[in-house]
Structure 1
Amino acid sequence: MNSSLPNDEKNNAPQSMNGPQIVPAAIPSSSDSDSSKGVAGPSSPYVVGVPPQQAMVPTWSTGLFECFNDIPTFIITAFAPCVTFGQIAEMVDRGQNSCGLYAMLHAGILYFTGCGCLLSAYYRIKMSHLYKLPDDPLINILVHLICEPCALCQEYRELQARGFNMKLGVGWRNQSPEIQQTGGVMVPPKVPGGMTH
């Protein structure tokens, strides 16, 4: 094979043409590393050059502005946010009170103060803690202050994605036993049978 490399460079060039050749880096001796200063050496428990394993970042199952994916819920929430809030609060509180009681509480606060969004923001924060969703209280409050109907629709869709039957009138007591036991926390599905040869 003819090459344009000079003779000196031909001798130093790798002989393999199958791809790049990996040259091992020099490992510092134990005298070169000082574990008290945090320098990784041969006896260090840390692996140099390998990024740490990153946990999955929690996210909502749907976006904030995907309201039009569920038009009936969006219409109910736009004209009567207390109804959607009541359904969400009943599921988040695991049936401690009824949907109707939460809806009346939200409607009363909304009627007398105009700040029903603060109550619904509190339940968004509570839901974020419960399901390990993005948990910035300031952001959750701002989302409800700026666009409460979109926030309520997103929470409603999140509960549906977690297996809750969110139809009006179903409530916590009529949820499946699996949902009542796990509280809607997603668990990995069980594989039937097992491995066969």
Structure 2
Amino acid sequence: MSGTNDWNESLCGCLDDYSSCCYGFFYTPCLFGSNAKKINDHNCFVMCCLYSILTSCYLCWIPHLFQRQLLREKYNLKENPSCGDCLTTLCCSPCAICQEAREIKSRKRSVVAYTINSPTVVSQPVSLQEGVHPDIH
């Protein structure tokens, strides 16, 4: 399950985006739920509650591991060779959730920039003759 693309955002780059950093620091389960919604359309509220409940018994890293793997599959991202997804979600979950939120945001920005800068195709309307239907041959 190794991707070919590098991450746009680093694990320790929380201060690159203050809004994601604050959201992730104060409302980690909510940011996890928000990310899950954007990754594969899971219910944000349910994922937030799941993360919160599992945090109380130190198991929140398990659903996070699966969501991180889905994110890597979605964008064909490489796994961190030094610690991998398992250790990242187990030991650095809040930082990883913030990294994932920034990654999603940066990937969406690049798609929007590509869409805005792509050429516009304009075509002339087809004139129809009376009594001739273009769909009927």
TM-score, length of structure 2 as denominator length: 0.72
* Structure 2 match to 1:173: none
Which residue pairs with 2:5 in the alignment?
58
Residue 188 (structure 1) shift:
5.4
**Greater CA deviation, 71-80 or 148-157?**
71-80
Which amino acid in structure 2 is aligned with residue 146 of structure 1? C
| Structure with larger RCO (C-alpha < 8 A, sep 6+) | 2
Contact 1:122–1:141 (8 Å) recurs in 2: no
Deviation at 1:92, TM superposition (A): 1.2
Aligned residues: percent identity?
A: 23
Once the two structures are superposed, residues 59-84 of structure 1 have per-residue CA deviations (whole angstroms, 9 ceiling, x without a partner) of 11111111011223212212331011
Pick aligned residue for 1:67 from 14, 30, 35: 14
Are 1:146 and 2:74 matched, yes or no?
no
Task: Please identify, of 71-80 and 97-106, the stretch whose mean Cα deviation from structure 2 is larger.
Answer: 71-80
3-state secondary structure, aligned to 1:62: coil
Aligned pairs, number: 116
RMSD over aligned CA atoms reads 2.8
Check 1:185–1:121 CA distance in 2 against 1; reply closer, same or farther (3 A cut). farther
Alignment counterpart, residue 133 of structure 1, candidates 73, 77, 90? 77
CA distance in 1, matches of 2:43, 2:63: 16
Q: Any gaps of 5 or more consecutive residues in structure 2?
A: 122-137
2:29 is matched with: 82
Partner of 2:128: none
The unaligned stretches of length 5 or more in structure 1 are: 1-56, 165-183
Superposition deviation, residue 143 in structure 1? 1.0
Residues 84 and 67 (structure 1), Cα distance of their counterparts in 2 relative to 1, 3 Å cut: same
Structure 2 Cα separation of the partners of residues 126 and 187 of structure 1: 24
Query: What's the counterpart of residue 103 of structure 1?
Result: 48
* Contact 2:36–2:67 (8 Å) recurs in 1: yes
Q: Is residue 2:42 matched to residue 1:114? A: no
Q: TM-score, normalised by structure 1?
A: 0.51
| Per-residue deviation, residues 43-63 of structure 1 (Å, max 9, x unmatched) | xxxxxxxxxxxxxx4111111
1:160 to 105, 119, 127: 105
Contact 2:36 2:44 in 1 (8 A): yes
* Rg larger for: 1
Q: 1:105-126: per-residue Cα shift (whole Å, max 9, x none)?
A: 1111112x21202211210011
- For the residue of structure 2 that corresponds to 1:130, the secondary structure is helix
Aligned residues of 2:9 and 2:103 also touching (Cα < 8 A): yes
Contact persistence 2:5–2:76 (CA under 8 A): yes
Aligned partner of 2:125 in structure 1 is none
Moved beyond 4 Å, runs of 4+: 184-189
Change beyond 3 A, Cα 1:120–1:83: same
Determine if contact 2:20/2:102 at 8 Å carries over to the other structure: no
